[in-house]
Amino acid sequence: MAGNWIKLHRKTLRSAVADDMVMLGRWTWILLNANWAERQLLNGTTLQAGQLMVGMERLAVSWGCSKSSAYRGTQKFKDLEMITTKPGTAGTLITICNWSIYQANGDKGGTIVERSWNDAGTQGGTQMERGADPEEEGKNVRKKECKDEIGEWVLPLDMDTPEVRQSLEAFQVMRSRIGKPIRSLPDASRIFKQFDDRDQLLRALDFVIANDYQGLHPKYGWIDGKPDEPLRRLI
């Protein structure tokens, strides 16, 4: 694919954002602003094809909304497994899932069902000719392409809700902003065993985010009041 245009697949008409013109416009903006080839930023960060680095403030200006609305928009795309995000000090790294499937090299031409799945030609014919299900093959590729280097949060079933996930992402952003990024989310998830329930975890997250504390401790979620000073429980 050349850097001057993108491919918009007709399956978009059947996607979860097709009936929401705001979300469809935002999705198109993400596609248009993603890198079409590997390049290095001035800060040394290397972006791959299908990735872009953007701050929530710039995203809000580009989308014509508030920063909180921009954040919720990216979260919705994440929930739909259309992108993954990785917060950092230079902004949020957005990776588009299945970029290589729908935005393959332009010198091959054609739509996704007109191109061979394998560039080397080891799986001859198109998906349609092979009888393959693009949805299922896309899911398999998505799992490989969108794996985050720092892993994912591992939450107990009774705490795994969208509200908790959103607060944890805000916690990640805060940790990166204060120069204390979380290195491994699975390792950091061990602290959750010390919380009694979801509400206590949410209260603790609200407290540490509001006060720029890097440590998360169950005591911050007590109803009887916050501690006088942060405990040295780091994740």
Report if residue 99 sits inside a domain. yes
d(CA 176, CA 179): 5
pLDDT digits (tens, 9 = 90+) for 175-186: 888 888 888 888
Lowest mean pLDDT among 79-93, 115-129, 190-204, 205-219: 115-129
Long-range (24+ apart) CB contacts under 8 A made by 149-153 are 149/86, 150/86, 150/182, 150/183, 150/184, 150/185, 151/184, 151/185, 151/186, 152/185, 152/186, 153/185, 153/186, 153/188, 153/189
* 70 and 35 part of one domain: yes
Report if residue 204 sits inside a domain. yes
This prediction's pTM = 0.47
Report if residue 199 sits inside a domain. yes
Residue 43's pLDDT is 75
* 57 and 99 part of one domain: yes
Report if residue 5 sits inside a domain. no
**Can you give the residue range of the structural domain that contains 227?**
150-235
Q: What is the mean pLDDT of residues 106-117?
A: 36
* 154 and 140 part of one domain: no
Residue 225's pLDDT is 53
* 161 and 126 part of one domain: no
* 135 and 226 part of one domain: no
* 158 and 96 part of one domain: no
> Which of 145, 176, 208 is the last residue before a domain boundary?
145
pLDDT digits (tens, 9 = 90+) for 3-61: 577 888 777 888 888 888 999 999 999 998 988 888 887 777 888 989 999 988 899 99
> Which of 113, 145, 177 is the last residue before a domain boundary?
145
Report if residue 2 sits inside a domain. no
Report if residue 1 sits inside a domain. no
* 33 and 137 part of one domain: yes
Report if residue 198 sits inside a domain. yes
* 39 and 104 part of one domain: yes
CATH code for the domain of 36:
1.10.10.10
Residue 104's pLDDT is 64
Report if residue 104 sits inside a domain. yes
Q: What is the mean pLDDT of residues 196-205?
A: 92
- Tally the domains of the chain: 2
The answer to whether 220 and 208 are in contact (CB under 8 A) is yes
